Amino acid sequence: MNNPFVHLHVHSEYSLLDGAIRCSKLADRAKEWGAPAVALTDHGVMYGVVEFYEHCMSKGVKPIIGCEVYVDPRGHTLRDRQGKNYHLLLLAESQEGYQNLIKLVSIANTDGFYYKPRVDHDLLARYGKGLIASSACLSGEIPSLIIEGNLEEAKSRASMYRDIFGKDNFFFEIMYNKVPEQALVNKALMEMSKKMSIPLIATNDAHYLEKSDASWHDVLLCVQIDQN
């Protein structure tokens, strides 16, 4: 691979009833592709970090430790079912960032747990140092505002996240998945990127490794729906 692509948005089997990638297989595939690094960004948890780290190191692949957290802008301790659990991708840039990520995920799963492990803007501002953040998938705060047609508020939230994480540590995340709303969001994010000087990253929001895994990944999602 002449220009190796580094996957920065990946869900393992530890994204329960959603991800279907084993950490060992992820490291194997990254090595096979010649990727210098790969990230692990499970939903709201970091259960797989040690296993992921060890497998990547054994294959000579740099492990990037992250998490796709749930953000309730109104406050992570509210329990009135009126809030929204927006997605936000966080990657540890340094040892301090790793410790802050652990802190955020721990608080989310204790003080902030209400159907989902949640953080809020204040917590992100308090423990954002050493972290790289991106706008995440269609369930992210900024993409959701774009889909709603609220571009000005989307720009305002983008400015807020840039202030929280720093101008070099916040990115707009675009991906190609043939979802119509994604094309709309990608276009808006690219335009916002030029106007606001916020850089872009390309991801794939990977939940399984092989095309042939799609059918049994659907089974996981069906179980998830039944559990809800």
Tokens 């069906």 -> residue: 222
Residues 171-199 have pLDDT tens digits of: 999 999 989 999 999 999 999 999 999 99
Q: Is the model's pLDDT at 228 over the cut of 60?
A: no
Strands (E), the chain: 37-40, 62-71, 86-92, 113-114, 116-119, 131-134, 170-175, 200-203
Buried b (16+ CB within 10 A) or exposed e, 195-212: eeebebbebebbbbeeee
Alpha-carbon gap, residue 38 to 62, rounded angstroms: 7
Buried b (16+ CB within 10 A) or exposed e, 7-35: bbbbbbbbbbbbbbbbbebbbbbbbeeeb
Burial class (CB in 10 A: 0-12, 13-18, 19+), 1: exposed
- pLDDT given at position 226: 44
Average pLDDT value for residue range 117-130? 98
Q: Is the model's pLDDT at 204 over the cut of 70?
A: yes
Alpha-carbon gap, residue 11 to 20, rounded angstroms: 7
Contacts 24+ apart (CB under 8 A), 176-183: 176/202, 176/204, 177/204, 177/205, 179/138, 181/138, 181/147, 182/138
Q: Does domain 23-136+203-227 have CATH number 3.20.20.140?
A: yes
- pLDDT given at position 208: 85
Alpha-carbon gap, residue 179 to 99, rounded angstroms: 35
Residues 38-66 have pLDDT tens digits of: 999 999 999 999 999 999 999 999 999 99
Alpha-carbon gap, residue 134 to 10, rounded angstroms: 13
Average pLDDT value for residue range 162-172? 97
Residues 4-48 have pLDDT tens digits of: 799 999 999 999 878 889 999 999 999 999 999 999 999 999 999
- pLDDT given at position 206: 93
Q: Is the model's pLDDT at 76 over the cut of 70?
A: yes
Mean pLDDT, the chain, whole residue set: 93
The domain limits of the chain are 23-136+203-227
Q: Is the model's pLDDT at 88 over the cut of 70?
A: yes
